[in-house]
Structure 1
């Protein structure tokens, strides 16, 4: 199934994924991770993007962010990609590409899926077996949301802020979300929306996005379009009336 055109709509969160070329590592030591985060903060400030959650893994990055100006995220990712690739190539005396093409993204229905996407992103180190506890992984936003240490990259979304009146109350409510394992079908659904660039949300949200963007966000159905059965039955009936000697007409055969 082909990817849909990428949408960059202001004030609507996006789930962003960028993978290393041939799934090879993009980060090699702590200095690389820190340089990427510093560059992310600078690019987000420059292009007016609010970063809400992130995880940096050895061979990929995932970010949840909301653009506040048109093309904010695409500009941020282009600037960030160039800066980080130059840094890595210079530091390790290498050349060529680092990423597997352009980043992938999907719009998020924030009221239904935003905090779920936080969990999806921040739990990656656990699912990959990199750590036993999310609080042990230093290169994700979980430690910020769990009130372990503050991140200067993160700008909290309103849905996180309403979890509690104080930072500790919000952290406790947020960590409660991780008590239950992800439903496998939900994991697959989120992964599929990113892979194909689809909108993560229900029909009402998709209708809203189609109205705002003036373009289709739902994938076309596969296969040839079905013929109109009702028309074919009516045609068969007309043919039967024009042949009065025919005792019976198999209308289903024409359907």
Structure 2
């Protein structure tokens, strides 16, 4: 069966997951995490791609990224990240070969309804994996950056959903903390996970119709529903 064509759109957020080849460990030491984040910070500015959320797990990464007018920069950023990490680990271990799966998974996210839900999904990954009890205790996700006192103290971009939480950064942070403390309903987790695994859109049926009109492509529909408030 041929692969589903990847949908990449300018100015839309994309939930991305890239896994280590055969689920192999990608991040073994703190320096591995730091190097990847340093590359992400550098390449986001180079390619002008916004970073709304991220979480680096031992053998995979979750990213919430939005290219600007040139949608191809998203793939270029992912290629750059993967290539740099592969060369680093190969040199470190005296090996050659691939580090990542050949194709990362991605899903275009409906900004108004699902962007905050995807951010929460990403930043709670270590909690769901029972690695930590609280998301703020995990040093390799965007949550710790998000809690900075001012927006200027972080290189993380404030997405439309986050900006809509309040008129100033402090208010947004307080309300996002409260949002994170709410238990995400199982239906929300299933919706986000399913859309990503199948390469579908993370959004409402209306959003699917809009993207079909933009792309001229017939897009497989998932079951109806939206994240619980």
TM-score (norm 2): 0.90
- Is residue 206 from structure 1 mapped to residue 208 from structure 2 by the alignment? yes
Query: In 2, Cα distance between the equivalents of 1:77 and 1:16?
Result: 9
The residue matched to 2:12 in structure 1 has which SS?
coil
**Superimposed CA distance per residue, residues 188-208 of structure 1 (whole angstroms, 9 cap, x where no aligned partner):** 111111111000111111111
| C-alpha displacement of 1:3 | 5.3
The residue number in structure 1 matching 2:145 is: 144
- Decide whether the 8 Å contact of 1:15 with 1:105 is kept in 2: yes
1:165 to 145, 148, 167: 167
RMSD over aligned CA atoms reads: 1.8
| C-alpha displacement of 1:143 | 1.2
- Is residue 58 from structure 1 mapped to residue 54 from structure 2 by the alignment? no
The residue number in structure 1 matching 2:102 is: 101
| C-alpha displacement of 1:186 | 1.7
1:109-188 pair list within 5 angstroms: 109-147=110-148, 150-152=153-155, 154-188=156-190
| C-alpha displacement of 1:166 | 2.6
The residue matched to 2:66 in structure 1 has which SS?
strand
The residue matched to 1:61 in structure 2 has which SS?
strand
Q: Which runs of 4+ in 1 moved over 6 A?
A: none
Alignment length (residue pairs)? 219
| C-alpha displacement of 1:87 | 0.8
| C-alpha displacement of 1:100 | 1.7
- Decide whether the 8 Å contact of 2:51 with 2:63 is kept in 1: yes
The residue number in structure 1 matching 2:20 is: 20
| C-alpha displacement of 1:146 | 2.5
The residue matched to 2:54 in structure 1 has which SS?
strand
**Superimposed CA distance per residue, residues 119-169 of structure 1 (whole angstroms, 9 cap, x where no aligned partner):** 0000000010111111110000011222369432x1111221231223221
The residue number in structure 1 matching 2:93 is: 92
Query: In 1, Cα distance between the equivalents of 2:81 and 2:33?
Result: 13
| Distance verdict in 2 for CA 1:100–1:176, change over 3 Å | same
Structure 2 residues without counterparts, runs of 5 or longer: 223-229
| Distance verdict in 2 for CA 1:97–1:86, change over 3 Å | same
The residue number in structure 1 matching 2:38 is: 38
Query: In 2, Cα distance between the equivalents of 1:128 and 1:56?
Result: 12
Query: In 1, Cα distance between the equivalents of 2:4 and 2:191?
Result: 16
The residue matched to 2:18 in structure 1 has which SS?
strand
